[in-house]
Amino acid sequence: MIERELNGENVDCSGLYPPSDTNLQGSSPVGASYAAQCSFYDGSAVAIDPKDRILTFINGATIDVGVRRPSSDARIQYELFITSNDAYVVTLLINIGAYNVTYYVDAIGAVWRPDGGGGVFQVGTCQ
C-alpha cells in the first residue's frame, strides 16, 4: 500500500486514478475512489473524494483546495467551495482568482461560476 499524509491523516494512495488523468497534469491516486472529477476549460482539474474534499494535483503533490457541499437551490446539484486554511494554498488560490469562490454544478454536470454582475458563466464539467 502506498500512503501519503493529507491534512494530518494518512491516505491510501494505491487506489484508482481519476477517469481522465491527462487533464490532471502528473497526478497520483489519492484513495480507493473519487466521488467526482471536474475538468475546467482553462486546462485545470480537481477530484472530489468520498469525504467531499476538493483535491487538485500540482507538481506531483495532492492539495486540498476546498469542499463540496449541498445546495439549497433546486437547480444546483451541489456547490464547490474553494478555500483553504493553508497560507501557501491560499496564496496559490488568490493568484488564480479562485480563493473563497463558490462554483455551482447543475444536474447535467456543467460547472458555473458567478460573473460578478449577478449572472453566471460555464467554466467546466463534472462527471
Q: Is 70 a member of any domain?
A: yes
Q: Is 87 a member of any domain?
A: yes
- For each of the chain's 127 residues, which pLDDT tens digit applies? 334 444 455 544 333 233 333 333 333 444 456 888 999 999 889 999 999 999 998 888 889 999 999 999 999 999 999 999 999 999 989 998 899 999 999 999 999 999 989 899 999 999 8
In the chain the beta strands, taken as DSSP E runs, fall at 3-6, 9-12, 36-40, 45-48, 53-58, 61-69, 76-82, 101-106, 110-114, 120-126
Q: Is 118 a member of any domain?
A: yes
Tally of structural domains, the chain: 1
pLDDT number for residue 46: 93
As a whole number of angstroms, the distance between CA 75 and CA 4 comes to 37
What residues make up the domain containing 91?
34-126
Q: Is 13 a member of any domain?
A: no
Chain centroid to CA 2: 22
As a whole number of angstroms, the distance between CA 77 and CA 110 comes to 10
pLDDT number for residue 13: 39
The helix/strand/coil state of 115 is coil
Q: Is 11 a member of any domain?
A: no
Q: Is 79 a member of any domain?
A: yes
Helices and strands in the chain: count of H runs, count of E runs? 1, 10
Q: Is 1 a member of any domain?
A: no
Q: Is 94 a member of any domain?
A: yes
Bridging pattern class, strands 110-114 and 120-126: antiparallel
Amino acid identity for residue 25 in this structure: Q
pLDDT number for residue 58: 81
